[in-house]
Structure 1
Amino acid sequence: MKACNNRFDSSNFIGKGGFGCVYLGRFKGQKVAVKVSRNKAEQQRTQFDDFTPKLTDFGTVAPEGEHLRCFTEGYRDPALTDGAAGTKPNDIYSLGVVILQLIMKEEKVTVPGSGASSHIMDWARSSYNSERKHAVDQKLIKKGCCRQAARAITLLGLECVSDNTRERPTIAQVLRRLGDLEGN
């Protein structure tokens, strides 16, 4: 990620999102937006050095000094009212959608016009409440994700998309729980 945007050079600065600065980069010939982690601890840097990225289009980032409210459907917290400023719990909702996408290996977040269960969180809840007790894709289970970790990561994703914003974990809690799961 450092190479694709010239080591987060200030000339590539686009703007600031809910959890940090966003930079313009190039990856395999395509323009991408890259966010640097706020945590500068050595442990945090080494954890991300071995991370295999999954790049997804989330929509728009506000340029520095501007306040742009634009949301990608499916990632937008339903608790966010039109015209309201986004909050950290709203960002956690979006993160929960991404977590569910990754563990379910599902690119689509919503299926327009498909009825009541048209959002990824509905699919995940259904799997979690079934006999399986998790929503992790079977390919990931076969690659070594244990069922206990599958249940824990599914629960984390579902807590992030909770209808009650007060029940959602903080970003610190999400990071701690992901760190706890790293060895599983």
Structure 2
Amino acid sequence: MAPKTFKRKLCASFKSYGKQKGKLNAEKMNLKHFSLEELQRATKNFSQECLVGSGAFGNVYRGTFHLEGTLAIKKPNAEQYTSTDEFRNEVRLLSKVKHNNLVGLVGFCEETGPKAAKILVYEYVTNGSLLDYIMGRGGRSLTWRQRVNIAIGAAKGIAHLHEGIHPSIIHRDIKPSNILIGEGFEAKVSDFGLVRSGPVGDQSHVSSLVKGTPGYLDPAYCASFHLTPFTDVYSFGVILLQLIAARPAVESSRSSTISHIINWARPSIEKGCIEEIIDANLLLEECNMEMMLKMGQLGLRCVVQVPRERPTMSQVWQELEANLNLAPEYPIPLDSQRFSSRSIHESVIRISNQSEHDYSQSIVSIDGIGLQRFHVDMDSVSFQSASLRCLEMSIDDDFSIPR
């Protein structure tokens, strides 16, 4: 063989190897590679009948498979992934995320050509999201013990991202709609579209454009662009308060006054009067008010101004679990608790008279220069206060995946 011919073949072989190296190996990652035709059959060609959720990223469909049963198919918008490598990096990352309190990735679909597709397939979680229960959709509600157990499970899942994976992962979008409720009412944290690798070694933080959801964004992150695991802790603290009060993170009344749940709940929690803010549904049944108060106090510690003064997510679930283990086996009768029937009546009237919460919100993104409003999504309420503007930042169509 002539030297030049041999050299050309050798170079071609190396180029071919380089292309193959970037491809996803489903078997190695213990995932299934679904064909687009399989997903179309399972979702009746991505029909409205199978649509179970939508957002800035795209749509989620319920798919029924012969062998795998029911799965959730996340079909992104065309602009969700800026490159094939970005999609592949996300798949590789999520394949490593295995925990009972994290929604598991089952497989993916990657096809090129006229029918190009980049789709993720997750386990299907049966009982909707925590947001459904906070909003009371379809008359849904949770007992006090279910609320604590959901908080413990979600905290364990987030703690696994922070401490059980190396390098650590910061979720960046902890909110009720991203905490799904399983068949046994266990919590499963979902939607990893905004995840970032956390600090490594001696790093105290990673620098990142601010992305997240209004009402759940850590003001310290908004002000400094410094992302740490404590950013997720802040968001979770807001959720703890919502589990107690069944109230939006940010609420705007007809009088245009704006109230964040932290500022609204703090006075009552600090003076130990949890009955002033508790969900009326809990006042109509036997409830451990002391446990609710402790959860509220923990929520306030999660949202303190200085990130390093907040507990870690492991400390959060351990404290919740320890307090729950000390709680009486049987519910505490209402007449044995320290608040009066009058306060119960006033709380029920106060909450029942509240207008239906508007969970629509304006979504904005920081580009390092200014704010630009461009999208509408769920989970909180839009507001105009300049002093609270950092709470108005939310996800855009971009997301970052560890490289």
State the TM-score, normalizing by the size of structure 1: 0.64
Deviations 1:15-53 (A, max 9, x none): xxxxxxx9745557x9xxxx993399xxxxxxx873355
Cα distance in 2 for partners of 1:127, 1:146 equals 17
Cα distance in 2 for partners of 1:12, 1:83 equals 36
Within the candidate set 156, 166, 171, 2:313 is matched to 171
Cα distance in 1 for partners of 2:196, 2:108 equals 12
Larger Rg, first or second structure (1 or 2):
2
Q: Is the 8 A contact 1:96 1:160 kept in 2?
A: yes
Change (3 A) 1:63 1:148: closer
Gaps of 5+ in 2: 1-68, 74-102, 110-119, 129-153, 165-181, 198-207, 328-403
Report the residue type matching 2:185 in the other structure.
F
Deviations 1:72-116 (A, max 9, x none): 01000111135724211111000001111111112x11124743x
Cα distance in 2 for partners of 1:82, 1:23 equals 36
Within the candidate set 90, 94, 113, 2:231 is matched to 90
What is the CA distance between 1:8 and its match in structure 2?
Answer: 2.4
The answer as to 2:11 corresponding to 1:11 is no
In the TM superposition, what are the counterparts of 1:1-184 in structure 2 within 5 Å? 4-5=71-72, 8-11=104-107, 24=122, 26=124, 37=157, 38=160, 50-53=184-187, 61-62=193-194, 69-81=210-222, 84-106=225-247, 108-112=248-252, 114-115=256-257, 118-130=259-271, 132-133=273-274, 135-183=277-325, 184=327
Cα distance in 2 for partners of 1:131, 1:174 equals 20
What is the CA distance between 1:140 and its match in structure 2?
Answer: 2.2
Cα distance in 1 for partners of 2:312, 2:287 equals 24
Change (3 A) 1:75 1:180: same
Q: Is the 8 A contact 2:106 2:123 kept in 1?
A: no
Change (3 A) 1:82 1:64: closer
Report the residue type matching 2:215 in the other structure.
G
Cα distance in 1 for partners of 2:192, 2:104 equals 19
Deviations 1:101-132 (A, max 9, x none): 111112x11124743x6101111102213461
Aligned length: 158
Change (3 A) 1:10 1:152: same
Cα distance in 1 for partners of 2:185, 2:108 equals 22
CA RMSD of aligned residues (A): 4.2
Change (3 A) 1:64 1:168: closer
SS at match of 1:70: coil
Moved over 4 A (4+): 2-7, 22-28, 52-55
Q: Which stretch has the larger CA shift, 4-13 or 82-91?
A: 4-13
Change (3 A) 1:78 1:53: same
**% identity of equivalent residues:** 27
Cα distance in 2 for partners of 1:63, 1:151 equals 31
Change (3 A) 1:141 1:149: farther
Report the residue type matching 2:184 in the other structure.
D
